Amino acid sequence: MTCLSKRLLKPLRKFAVPVCAFACTVLTALPAYSGELLQVPVRESQTQAVFIEQPAGAPSWVIVLFAGDDGVIALDGTGPTTMKANFVLRTARYWTSVGDAVAIVDTPSDRSSGMNDAFRLSEAHAQDLHVIVAALRQRFPTAKIALVGTSRGTISVGNVLKREPRLADAYVLTSPVTIGMRGESGLSGMHWDVGATPVLVVSNENDGCQVSPFNAARALAEDNHLQFLAVSSNERGQGRAVECGARSPHGFLGIETQVLSAISRWLDDPGSVGTVPPH
């Protein structure tokens, strides 16, 4: 079953029923990308790989995606070649199915072996992302920009939110890394003054990853006066390591489309946070 067209789906996505849960193909399957790879010049001689996929018409939003772990997704002309199961990567095609454009961000060329938390929180990284957003605004002049991160990808988003909250039109942090551990700080102790900038924190009450517990995500939202979406699911793979992996409540396994539909509705109406039925 193919997804509904943008013309039919856009008016529907503000309703509480997660339309794409029924209208779209299952998002747990790895996506087949059909976009364009850009190498954006950033600091000095460094470049930043960005993969762009867009719908047939003019998008309302450009959803800029930041994967977790060390951020190395090794983009080429076919899209990500590693970490394909990561929550924001395996579901990226959802956004084009509802008429939005997607921009998937890789590591910069001087961090091809990966980004630690210190770099994700650095001014240099924030400068790189400023350049990327500027390039996207030039390419999509009528669209709004949303920065969406998951797990350690939320550290990149949180860095921009701290330094330049008006750079994007909305921010979404899913399964945010809020607990510092093993020399990595995550978003622990982070405080933001976001003003009127819409920010949504999404967390699974059964997230078993020790650096992104549900209660800490909720506290992060409350302490910074951010909107909070609580979800609940129990599907997971096998083994201890899976708790911080993509195939777990940390990666919203089994409720991907419902979570994305709720985020999509929030982008259309940032004053209202919906609900996701328990799974």
pLDDT tens figures, 162-210: 999 999 999 999 999 999 888 889 999 889 999 889 999 999 999 999 9
Q: Name the pairing type of β-strands 47-53 and 101-108.
A: antiparallel
Q: Which of 218, 226, 154 is nearest to 196 (CA)?
A: 226
Which of the four pLDDT bands, split at 50, 70 and 90, describes residue 275?
Answer: confident
Order of strands, sheet of 47-53, starting from the edge strand that comes earlier in the sequence: 36-41, 47-53, 101-108, 61-66, 144-150, 170-174, 199-204, 227-231
- Is 0.85 topped by the overall pTM? yes
Can you give the C-alpha Rg of the chain in angstroms? 17
- CA-angle at 77, arms to 74 and 80, nearest 5°: 35
Contact (Cβ atoms closer than 8 angstroms) between residue 12 and residue 19:
yes
pLDDT of residue 273: 81
CA distances from 36 to 17, 54, 109, 174 (A): 32, 9, 18, 26
- Average pLDDT in the 113-136 region? 96
* More confident: 11 or 238: 238
pLDDT of residue 182: 82
pLDDT of residue 27: 47
Task: List, in order, residues 6 or more apart from 155 with CB less than 8 Å away.
Answer: 117, 120, 121, 149, 177, 186, 187
- State residue 242 phi and psi, 5-degree precision: -65, -20
Share of the chain above pLDDT 90, in %: 76
Say how many residues make up the chain.
279
Token pair listed for 188 = 């622990």
pLDDT of residue 257: 94
Q: Which fold has domain 6-268?
A: Rossmann fold (3.40.50)
Average pLDDT over the chain reads 87
| pLDDT at 12 exceeding the cut of 70 | no
- Average pLDDT in the 119-128 region? 96
What confidence tens digit (pLDDT) does each residue in 131-175 have?
999 999 999 999 999 999 999 999 999 999 999 999 999 999 999
pLDDT of residue 10: 46
Token pair listed for 64 = 């800029």
What confidence tens digit (pLDDT) does each residue in 40-92 have?
999 989 999 999 999 989 999 999 999 999 999 999 999 999 999 999 999 99
pLDDT of residue 33: 73
- Average pLDDT in the 29-37 region? 72
